[in-house]
Amino acid sequence: MADVTQREQSGDGYGDGDGNGNGNGNGNGYSHGDGYGHGDGHGDGDGGLRALAMRPVLRPGRWWAPTVGVLALIVAWGVAAWVVQYHRGLGSAGYNDHAFWAIYIADVVTFIGVSYGGAVVSAILRLTGAEWRAPLTRIAEGTAVVTVLIGGAFIFPHLGRPERILELIYRPNLSSPIFWDFVAVSTYAFASMVFFYLPLIPDLADAADRVTAAGRPRLGRLYRLVSWRWRATPAQRRILSGSVGLVAIMIIPLAVSVHSVLSWAFALTSRPWWHESIWAPYFVVAALYSGIALVIVIVALFRKLYGLQALIGERHFVRLGFILAPFGAAYLYLTLADFLPGGYVGDHGVAAVFSSVLVGRYAIGFWLFVVGGCIAPLLVIAIPRLRHTRQIVAAAVLVDLALWLKRMIMVVAPANYGRISGLFGSYHFTWISVSVTLAGVAAIPLLLLLLFRVVPILSVAEIEELAHAEQQVHIPSPAVIPAPTPVGVNTRRQPSDLLGRPATFDIAPETP
């Protein structure tokens, strides 16, 4: 983190010193205004912002290829493990008749859950007009797309006969919650892609010439193709912002439906602890909680990788933390509301499962989740002295790990419980199930690195528009959260992010 501080302190430009050893790589032509600004009336002064947004596409740095290689190897290893599992049978992933659902369905729920966070953070911030969102939305929406695809892919190792999956289309049973899952997740996945794509149009139109000039003519042609002759005319702008708003509204109930339906795959059976009316909202809140946490983690990661500290500062993390906290509190509350009635009455099966979770064989995992996944993150955000980037990111990592653990327990405990005998079976991890799951984790940064290799990582048009709007109404700078008393390494941090100083780019008045 020391190098980050160093860089922020210098606060001069984005063309150098990304902390990854390729500091000089960017000192070439395209940061000097090579004509990409035409058509929308902007001058060259915003070259910094554009260079920053396009750097992952044009010059990601020397670390990029090895990192992608390593991540791809992990994913390939996971895929190979899955092939082995397919040949040996699901038992090789640790499954048995008393653990018929386990790790992969927990992975499905976890990955599709975190996707929700990316989509909804972006949607809500758009709908509420939160200006500070601008540098985050692209990363958040990209995360949503990538994670829902990974989560959907976990259906394949989950199924015993994945090659028959098309039966869901040509001979579906409409009364099955699994079929509803299929419909809801596919719809949501499609919507999240649209949500990612729409705000991308102006940026791609804008960047087409730039990538062509930088020696990527085919990418330039692709940009022009998918940006539909965008010329930023007032009519086009009106249509685009209307559509983005509409999709932002639609994606919220869509995502709610996805996580409700996912919970019903469990709650529509008569198993103790699965058969709970609270599970649908419980899943929705869990998805939001873990999803916002993942946005924090991914934003922190890419901020560091691509040197976005000038745009994304501590205040972004603090604000995301403020969004995260109520969901953490709500999840803790729902956990209590979930356990108390069943535990109080002590119905046969429910009592057995609850005691296994609260004081029995799953208790370590459960209390780890409560302390590490709920209480500790809440404290980090509640206590001003702890409320700093690094701690918030660490808390977010904890949230995601703990929520995966929680899902594992929610899946495995009721599946383990023998409903006639009252005895518990057991599930054990195998190298196969662990490899496949880790492949899913590695696939998140891998796919995002690849994604931002083809599209700009920042929503340039949005950042400019918001900064422009600010200038027009003569607001000197957006409200900045009062800086907490800096401690430690943060002491020397300077508020150098662009939103704090909108005049950093020289925005010319718009020409009609």
Partner 1 sequence: MSASEEPVRFTGIRRAEQNLVTGEDATAGCPSGDAGMPGSGSGCKLSRRSLLGGAAAVGAAAAASAAALEVFGGSAKPAAADTSSTAGSSSSGPAHQWAMVLDLRNCDGCKACTMACQQRHSLWPSQEWIKVYTMTTAAGGTYHMARPCQMCEDPPCLYVCPVGATFRTDEGLVLVDQDACIGCRTCMAACPYEARYFNWGDPKPAAKIPGMPRSPDWPVPQVKDTVGKCVWCADRLPKGELPACVAGCPMGVIYIGDLTTDVAINGLGNVVRLSEFIRDNDGVRFQEEYGTSPRVWYIPGHGQDLNSDSATA
- Site residues (vs partner 1, CB under 8 A): 88-92, 95-97, 100-101, 158-162, 164-165, 167-168, 171-173, 175-179, 182, 265-266, 268-271, 274, 415, 418-423
Return the closest-CA partner of residue 404 out of 154, 164, 202.
Answer: 154
Query: Which of residues 173 and 491 has its CB atom nearest to partner 1 in the complex?
Result: 173
- In the complex with partner 1, the residue whose CB is nearer, 96 or 471, is 96
Closer of 98 and 468 to partner 1 (Cβ)? 98
Name the residue among 210, 110, 222 with its Cα closest to residue 158.
110
Contacts of 366 (CB under 8 A, 6+ apart): 357, 358, 406, 409
* Residues 277, 267: Cα–Cα separation, whole Å: 7
Nearest residue to 98 (alpha-carbon basis) of 417, 500, 506: 417
CB of 272 to partner 1, least distance (A): 11
Nearer to partner 1, 89 or 476 (CB): 89
Distances (CA, A) of 31 to 35, 69, 285, 498: 10, 29, 44, 17
Phi, psi of 215 (to 5 degrees): 90, 20
Least gap, CB of 140 to partner 1 (angstroms): 32
Q: What distance in Å separates the CA atoms of residue 370 and residue 399, rounded to the nearest whole number?
A: 10
Q: How far apart are CA 151 and CA 185, in angstroms?
A: 9
Residues 467/472/476/478 CA torsion (nearest 10 deg):
-40
- Return the number of the residue (98 or 453) whose C-beta is nearest partner 1: 98
CB 278 within 8 A of CB 410: no
DSSP letter for each residue of 323-390 = HHHHHHHHHHHHHHHHHHHHHHHT-HHHHHHHHHHHTSTTHHHHHHIIIIIIIHHHHHHHSGGG-SHH
Nearer to partner 1, 57 or 155 (CB): 155
Least distance in angstroms from the C-beta of 102 to partner 1: 10
What is the SS3 assignment for 277? coil
Pair 265, 178: CB distance under 8 Å = yes
Of the pair 355, 471, the CB lying nearest partner 1 is at 355
Q: How far is the CB of 437 from partner 1 (least distance, A)?
A: 18
Shortest gap between Cβ of 339 and partner 1 (angstroms)? 21
172 burial via Cβ count (<10 Å: 0-12, 13-18, 19+): middle
Instruction: Pick the closest to residue 445 from 4, 63, 3, 1 (CA basis).
Output: 63
How is residue 31 annotated by DSSP?
G
> Minimum CB separation from partner 1 for residue 183, in Å?
11
The residues pairing with 417 across neighbouring beta strands, listed in sequence order, are 424
Least Å distance, CB 109 to partner 1, is 14
State the burial class of residue 330 (Cβ atoms within 10 Å of its Cβ: 0-12, 13-18, 19+).
middle
Smallest separation (angstroms) from partner 1 to the CB of 176: 4
Q: How far is the CB of 89 from partner 1 (least distance, A)?
A: 4
For residue 187, the minimal CB distance to partner 1 (Å) is 16
95 or 452: CB nearest partner 1: 95
Specify the residue, 173 or 485, whose C-beta has the smaller distance to partner 1. Answer: 173
Based on CB atoms, which residue is closest to partner 1, 111 or 266? Answer: 266
Helix residue spans in 97-163 (DSSP H): 103-127, 137-153, 155-158
84, 92 Cβ separation under 8 angstroms:
yes
> Between 270 and 491, whose beta carbon lies closer to partner 1?
270
| Nearest-approach distance from CB 420 to partner 1, in angstroms | 5
The alpha helices in 31-102, defined as continuous H runs, are 47-58, 64-88
What is the chain's length? 512
Residue 455 CB, nearest distance to partner 1 (Å)? 35
Of 3 and 167, which CB lies nearer to partner 1 in the complex structure? 167
> How far apart are the C-alpha atoms of 401 and 407, rounded to whole Å?
10
Which of residues 178 and 454 has its CB atom nearest to partner 1 in the complex?
A: 178
Q: Nearest distance from residue 234's CB to partner 1, in Å? A: 48
Q: Are 280 and 235 in contact (CB under 8 A)?
A: no
